Amino acid sequence: LDETAPDCGAGPAAPPNAVISGAGIHDMRAMPSSSVVSDFVGGSKKEVPENYDVMSPILHIDADTPPYLMIHGTADLFVDVKQSEDMQEALIAEGIEARILIIEGGGHITNVGSDIGHADTVVSSIDTPEAWTVMSDFLERTIGAP
């Protein structure tokens, strides 16, 4: 896409061999209207709909799209888990490997780590033993062992 072409002197980066999305926004068009979203995108959906399209990975899936692993919490207050579920469905429909790990009770990027014994301890949603195992297996399978 011309809209996303790199503008640095080093030129374009190689495409990724795999993608791990932690609580990712895959369709900007599905995000609720808010000043945070419109400031990030450069205007409202009505003002700059093309920006929402360009910034929505779900609209740019093709045969060259790498395999995806999505990790998403069910208690994410900012990005609905449906974003990852819809992306997985769209990727699979195009024949792209797509896996999703749902973290029950997980928040957007952090969770309250009450299982650690401290109700006020904050732990990253993707920094759990289950997520690390799934990510490690995914990366080893898609890009190779370190």
Q: Are 127 and 73 in contact (CB under 8 A)?
A: no
Q: What is the pTM of this model?
A: 0.84
Q: 95-133: per-residue pLDDT in tens?
A: 999 999 998 888 776 555 545 444 444 455 677 788 999
- Give residue-wise pLDDT tens across range 23-61: 999 999 999 999 999 999 999 999 999 999 999 999 999
Instruction: Give 67-92 pLDDT, tens digit per residue.
Output: 999 999 888 888 999 999 999 999 99
Short-list 135, 146, 99, 139, CA closest to 18: 139
Contact between 17 and 69 under an 8 Å Cβ cutoff? The reply is no
Distance CA 129, CA 76 (A): 19
